[in-house]
């Protein structure tokens, strides 16, 4: 199975900060990668699909980039509602695999 | 409005069985693959299974024990879980589509414990 390695595992930041989360695949996955946000007790929410496509309704401060093995999720200016845990997931081949998550906390 | 409603979770002893259901509405159910994702307490999500057309795929951790199926007449996808283990304890979510899951259910908790 393809392994997805996210970094950092946790991050403290302030409102207004620019934040970058990275995800590395153990083999090339083209651009078959999604990013999800999850808040406690809730299902994950799709932010980005196909590495760089913003899901409808998601604020434009979220962006994704990358292809092959290295990907990034960027939040350009953190808002209070963005403090959550973020996951990447490869949908290149089965079994799909998630990264271990990045918990974004308020500094 | 798309809605996914899981049911069937609960407490089961190791070695036991459960069948989860996910009732869908608000979209043309038979046109979409359906996926199960689970999340054990304090951990990240884990992809479990997908049914896409006539094809089914499973995580290695559940292969041979879990079976995904669907009834398009009832707009429902199922996950039959047999030979349950403590490590299957998780919230189980169904999600619309084979990937890029834009709609999820609220989840149903499965606890495997004696």
The tokens for B58 are 């499973």
**Mutation site for A-interface testing, chosen from B39, B47, B90 by largest number of A Cβ within 10 Å:** B47
Residue A44 with chain B: CB contacts under 8 Å: 37, 45, 101, 104
Degrees to nearest 5, angle at CA A104 with A100 and B2: 75
**Nearest residue in chain A measured CA to CA from B98:** A91
pLDDT digits (tens, 9 = 90+) for A10-50: 999 999 999 999 999 999 999 999 999 999 999 999 999 99
Residue B53 has pLDDT above 90, yes or no: no
Mean pLDDT of chain A: 97
Q: For residue B69, give every residue at least 6 positions away whose Cβ sits within 8 Å of its Cβ, in sequence order, or none.
A: B51, B56, B77, B78, B80
pLDDT digits (tens, 9 = 90+) for B102-111: 999 999 999 9
């Amino acid at each position: 199975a393809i392994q997805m390695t996210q970094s950092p595992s946790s991050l403290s930041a302030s409102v207004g900060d620019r934040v970058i989360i990275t995800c590395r695949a153990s083999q090339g996955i083209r651009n078959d990668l999604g990013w999800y946000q999850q808040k406690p007790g809730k299902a994950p929410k799709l932010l980005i699909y196909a590495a760089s496509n913003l899901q409808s309704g998601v604020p434009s401060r979220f962006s994704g980039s990358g292809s092959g093995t290295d990907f990034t999720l960027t939040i350009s200016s953190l808002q209070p509602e963005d403090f959550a845990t973020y996951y990447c997931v490869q949908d290149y081949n089965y079994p799909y695999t998630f990264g271990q998550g990045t918990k974004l906390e308020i500094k | 409005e798309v809605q996914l409603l899981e049911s069937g979770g609960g407490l089961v002893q190791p070695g036991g069985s459960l069948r989860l259901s996910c009732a869908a509405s608000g979209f043309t159910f038979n046109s979409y693959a359906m996926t199960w994702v689970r999340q054990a307490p304090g951990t990240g999500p884990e992809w479990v299974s997908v049914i896409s057309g006539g094809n089914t795929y499973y995580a290695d951790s559940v292969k041979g024990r879990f079976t995904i199926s669907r009834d398009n007449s009832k707009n429902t996808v199922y996950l039959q879980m047999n030979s349950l283990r403590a490590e299957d304890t998780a919230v189980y979510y169904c999600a619309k589509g084979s990937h890029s899951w834009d709609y999820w259910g609220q989840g149903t908790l499965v606890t495997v414990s004696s």
